[in-house]
Structure 1
């Protein structure tokens, strides 16, 4: 049988599979040999290929995912340090504490107690922002996505949307109800800018199959606390800080340990910045 030559798109599809697996199994022992087998890459080249696509070796990527997840849980949940340690794959809190100190120069307990300790950027709370709130439940939904890495303001969102719409056209997936969303997997307060992970997505009512760098996955059914903000994207950092420091605590809801997403209700190409409407969806218990 003639073997099809490997392409960059095929490599990206395999990297997407690995990243999804790691995200969903942080609480477990992740065997690197098993990841190499799962990827289908040659064992000889596995580590170099992954490092080229992720910008760091696979072991460092897993450790960083665990420590950054722990930082978010310490700041935004009431789980004990021991529970968080188990949740991110450490058998005992001392192991998490050692890794946490190496990354951030502070212990998990001290970070939780010291609300003024900012790992990366300072908080920007504004009470003059135009933000409306509602709660809504969603069933399982299918998304097609392109995974980007880097500082949010430097990413090629337009190029990602173009790839997704070309994918929709190629697979004849157009229908009513397609939505534009972005899933931000990292908190810029605890993750270095060049390591931030973004999934640029289309919510698709029709069944799709992944191809190349366009992945396909399910958003599980969930209840969301939705914050609808009207205004320029340049203020979104302040919007998030205001949401997490004031609006969520005042709402009485507890966020789930899962990433939220942004939904864009109009097009920045033909909409004035002050008229842009963005919904921030936070999954809640």
Structure 2
């Protein structure tokens, strides 16, 4: 019982989780569940949820460039002052101060090493123009990030601003179906706000276009396989969506760091019917 409930809490950091919700998941009454979880966790379940979310927020503050307002929402807070107050109560300093001294904090207070939200969202996305950088690699390894060195060189060589683009990895194959060690992985530059691409010798095409389910995660590359398993199992369990054939996409919140690829914040778009 405890493991399944804790897994649900950890994998739904954006969701408002009530005792009634956990009761429905476990099959136990709210009264029994509240008492039993308190005994096993040595703290009320509400306190445990808050503590886990603040620890997740600390990880994202320390390891990503996400805005504090974005991180607040990713761990279930809609109010800036409430998030700052609870964070300071647990960490002793504000979220901004924590980020500013992240190296010191990481040495003495290592945050948990992943973020995964199974609070999925179905989205429809129009086709968009993109520059494509083809690559062959193993999706779940650091070698997949080597192609982003070419992307960075292209941006610098053409004096293009990094903030003018969204960055996608196009995953053409499924490792569970295609047993080949090298799978097709394209890096894609998509101009923001519907801007037109300037002419280039680089291969240009359209990407996205269709209906997708979006998940969010952030973790070391070594944890990609475990994360992918959790996401796929969740997707296959949904009754109102069916995974369809087609490419999936990783959307990065910034130009991926090919030298230090761990802990990139990623939105994963999986095609559905």
TM-score with structure 2 length normalisation?
0.47
Q: TM-score, normalised by structure 1?
A: 0.46
